Chain A
């Protein structure tokens, strides 16, 4: 892979275009192994109430995923109001010593886990004014995606299918329109099920893919993380190479002249 083809988010450069969630793994060891196999440099974490009085010596996620080595992306997963999302980001900033990069998601309902876009816009506005660098989970509406970019979000992250569904890229023309209009990184966040899905997202020109369930719920999560890394690299190279045009009929590869 070309070493100069870097992903830049909020002024920081990354070699890897795979962003990994750290939920749903069997244990912290598997989490660490999957991140290593996927080569992810940005990993999402959730902010949750500390268990009081039980498992006081349970292993800490930040022991496995060192903030010195990885870019931690605290997310607001599980928040259903702008207020809760903003509160979660502020707690994350305190927890991580002034860390500004966050993933904003404000959910609309538990069945679809679709984002509540009015609440997302409201929270993004508050967070940006408060100095956060916001990577935002959004529907695949090109107008909203552009609006979020114009507000100052540092990355726009449309869904490709519902969170955790593994249905693959169901909206490739919307994703393409969002990519074509954008001047900040567009990262598919949600919907990928297997490595070819990730490759399709990258072939559309996305700058990266964020996933969790597709890796964590694979039969072999570590192997799937490795497959995702390759799928993303292959898709990126294919995008940069520029695919051939689609034709309805055949086009011979061998010269016709000189046939005996």
Chain B
């Protein structure tokens, strides 16, 4: 099954939750924020949010930054 993860195609198995995906990506230890299809997904909902085909997921974190500069 394909989803869009941070703007790129990403394959996951069916019935993957956001918690599962974060574990698979080895990002469990990191402080993150997640946006699912344009809406913020609160941390408390990760375990119950089952991803479906073509979901658009953004995972972000804090990095060094002050005044503008291109990072992405």
Contacts and interface: CB of A to CB of B under 8 A. Distances in A.
Interface in A206-223: 210-213, 216
A78 B72 CA distance: 9
A213 B67 CA distance: 8
Interface in B49-72: 58-72
Contacts of B7: 49
A45 B6 contact: no
B27 A50 contact: yes
Given A52-B59, A91-B60, A46 B65 contact: yes
A45 B68 contact: no
A53 interface: yes
Interface in B1-44: 5-8, 10, 25-27, 30-35, 40, 42-43
B62 A23 contact: no
Given A60-B30, A94-B40, A48 B66 contact: no
Contact of B68 (A48, A49, A78): A78
Interface of A: 20-25, 28, 31, 44-50, 52-53, 56-57, 60-62, 72, 74-75, 77-78, 87, 90-92, 94-96, 105, 107, 113, 163-164, 189-190, 210-213, 216
13 contacts: A44-B66, A45-B64, A47-B62, A50-B27, A52-B25, A60-B31, A72-B62, A77-B68, A78-B69, A94-B40, A94-B42, A95-B32, A163-B67
Interface of B: 5-8, 10, 25-27, 30-35, 40, 42-43, 58-72
